[in-house]
Amino acid sequence: MVRTGKRPAAIKNFSDKTPELSSDLTCLWFARKLYFTMRVKTPNPVDRHVGARIRMQRMVRGLSQTKLGEEVGVTFQQVQKYEKGVNRVGASRLQQIATVLKVAPDFFFHGASAKAVAGISKETTLIQGFASSREGIALSKAFTEISDQKMRRSIVSLVEQIARD
């Protein structure tokens, strides 16, 4: 820990009058500052879910984070934070995002309550991660274009075989 030698005025003034408390107060102040600056906040499961749905729909629409950010008036870094669930999306901002992505605002919450109550299995997390990835979206789009049910089953069998090997 690097000390700058500067203390808040309240501690300095108090410790000048009672020198024996000086080091104790300084240590307490630094410990408190360290605690509040070093805490790691974990994203709320619902915030992560909403962010994943924003990312998925953004990618389906073919928008970059920069373009979505420009449309709603935030930076691409802010869009990244929304998508990761690090920052919560306010109601008015969610409405703007929904308008740009051409969905109803409740789209982003679909399935969120089940996650919050039950937690998320590892398999579900993997599937959702893949479904919201570039490859997952491209594969889903291409797969839905195939109308022949026999061909669809053959493709699923082929992918399952490749996965086993």
Quick check: 4 and 10 in contact, CB under 8 A?
A: no
Among 24-38, 50-64, 135-149, the least confident range: 24-38
User: Mean pLDDT over all residues of the chain?
Assistant: 80
Mind listing the pLDDT tens digit for each residue in 93-144?
999 999 999 999 999 988 776 555 455 566 766 777 777 788 888 888 888 8
Record the pTM: 0.57
Query: Residue 49 pLDDT > 50, yes or no?
Result: yes
The residues near 90 (Cβ < 8 Å, ≥ 6 apart) are none
Taken in order of first residue, the domains within the chain and their CATH numbers are 9-38 (no CATH), 45-132 (1.10.260.40)
Handedness of CA 64, 113, 138, 126 (dihedral sign): positive
Helix H or strand E encompassing 27 = helix 22-38
Q: Which tokens in the block code for residue 73?
A: 């008036």
